[in-house]
Amino acid sequence: MVREMELRQGEVSVDMPSARDAGLVFIGRIRTPWTSRLATPRQGRHDGPVCRLEIFEPWVAAIKGVDFYSNLEVLYWLHQSRRDIVLQSPKNNGNTRGTFSLRSPVRPNPIGTSIVKLVGVEGNVILVRGLDCLDETPLIDVKPDRCEFTPLAPPQSGDFETE
């Protein structure tokens, strides 16, 4: 459910386009200790509490190999966010910044990303530290952190292009 918030001084909202064209599939849900946005960290920390990425069927087989990496990139849908504010006042002081210059959860497509520390895998659950989302936040994707990942597939011509 999207909870509407009042605009702060200087903030600007727009009419949301009605067309929605990305057929996202939630692959699981994230279990965290936080049930209030105000108590949730602004950004996760690697010494923060262990959180659970509960993967739904039919995606559980896709966990294979995740434990090779110590850091993962997690993408999630900040489902309680408004999506229509283009100028925001993070400090609530009338000074505004454009949404694309912020990591605010309020954005046209409220996708959150975090680099998390892998704690372990237990069946269909990936245990991690470093999240900053509400309990029950829908999970979009899990990938190895790009710094640790070397492509397994052979390179393609674009890999050698320089300017």
User: What is the binding site for ligand SAM (CB under 6 A)?
Assistant: 37, 40-43, 78-81, 103-105, 112-114, 132-134, 137
Which is nearer to ligand SAM, 147 or 152 (by Cβ)? 147
Nearest distance, CB of residue 101 and ligand SAM, angstroms: 13
Nearer to ligand SAM, 115 or 119 (CB): 115
Amino acid at the residue 89: S
Q: How far is the CB of 159 from ligand SAM (least distance, A)?
A: 27
Nearer to ligand SAM among residue 11 and residue 132 (C-beta) = 132
Please, how many CA atoms are within 13 Å of residue 19, restricted to the half-sphere of its CB? 1
Distance separating alpha carbons of residues 117 and 163, to the nearest angstrom: 35
Cα distances (Å, whole numbers) of residue 73 to 9, 34, 41, 111, 117: 35, 20, 17, 12, 9
Measured from the CB atom, the residue of 9 and 113 that comes closer to ligand SAM is: 113
Q: How far is the CB of 91 from ligand SAM (least distance, A)?
A: 14
- Least distance from C-beta 104 to ligand SAM, angstroms? 6
